Structure 1
């Protein structure tokens, strides 16, 4: 009887040791895990399109007071295939709203397919962190609905393999005379690995 108890005790000790080792290995992996994409793996560039390059105003597209281009670059040239992660590029505007968005005409001329650009649609996994980052940068609290009206409803993703991806945002300023702007473009990345949230947001100020 005593011998049987001792064997069972050894068995449980081995089980506990195994569980402790597994938990330790998991903790080490979880502590050192990296996101599939890091902030340095993507680049964002912005510019205001000069009036000479801007298309004419049309009643159908609504009048706009400024036209911005945003370029998205994959540092290693690989497609942002969203395999295991999601992302979206959001404009966050101060004193303005977006009245139109499209793939830039020169990108289409260079072979980009319009269907590889997707605008709009709601993804709370990327929208909420982007809004929170914008609040931290600008110091101005805002609601989700206000953030959408300030441009985040026009966030985009790019599914193509040719870079840089380039989009145009047609902007209507509420007060064109206002000089100081707190407008940004934000790349919001969401990923969970081994139960750990490795999401991040990268922000670039919209070029004046």
Structure 2
């Protein structure tokens, strides 16, 4: 008012993506119970899905909004993203491919593994829960509507979006996908953490192997 400025238009903050579609399959107990810390690599794994927007401009200059979905699996031991899938829509195949890769990566764990998630539709699928039982992996789920039960993954999503997404407009699926893949490599291999002794997740894991 002081400078006689007037807002001409604005956009509302988009609603956070929710994969919860009600109870459609298996809902597992919360085995993790916010006990995120572990000194054993590949024992506690968590996953979630997050949504990004990108835009495409046609020959007439009209801009349309599209979405991209990221499904990462993280090792709670060091915060390393051990597998992930990226797709243009929420996809069971995307989640299952990333799950199978995470199972393979963590197969060297000498203890029984636990895979944690929210109660999203993909994690209630028979194929998902059956695959975990097949490998004798415990399935764990956050309580409904309680994001703090998976705060380690929420924290990763927050960092990723703060550092490469918010304030940046992407004009193609491939451009956004490439930047996410580059960030995950950077996050795993170069982004240091105080709780890891100022090492990156990969550096921390490798330092223990040497020790």
TM-score where L is the length of structure 1: 0.26
Higher RCO (C-alpha under 8 Å, 6+ residues apart)? 1
TM-score where L is the length of structure 2: 0.26
Bigger proportion of residues as strand: 1
